[in-house]
Amino acid sequence: MARQSISLTRPNDEWLKAQVKSEEYSSKSELVNDLIRQARKQQVQVDWIRAKLNRSEAGGFTDESKEQILKQSKSLLSG
């Protein structure tokens, strides 16, 4: 496992220590790794949403009403 040296602000260091003290995590390293994993998962979700939005924007706009769009969506969901 790679070792890193990082500097933390006092509030961040105190928060990390409190999490370890509460026995939520066994070490600051474990907590930092968990935070990075969460951020990576979140980035995957953001990238997926961004791709969907880009495809939708590239598809143009519609003149259909809300009701027409809802009806079409329900029709697609019901098969």
**Could you list the pLDDT tens digit for every one of the 79 residues in the chain?**
899 999 999 999 999 999 999 999 999 999 999 999 999 999 999 999 999 999 988 988 888 999 999 999 999 898 7
Segments forming the whole domain that contains residue 41: 9-57
Decide if 77 is inside a domain: no
Q: Which pTM value belongs to this model?
A: 0.66
Evaluate whether residue 32 is within a structural domain.
yes
Residue with tokens 């105190």: 14
Separation of alpha carbons 14 and 18, rounded Å = 6
Q: Domain for residue 67, yes or no?
A: no
The answer to whether the beta carbons of residues 19 and 31 sit under 8 Å apart is yes
Number of domains in the chain: 1
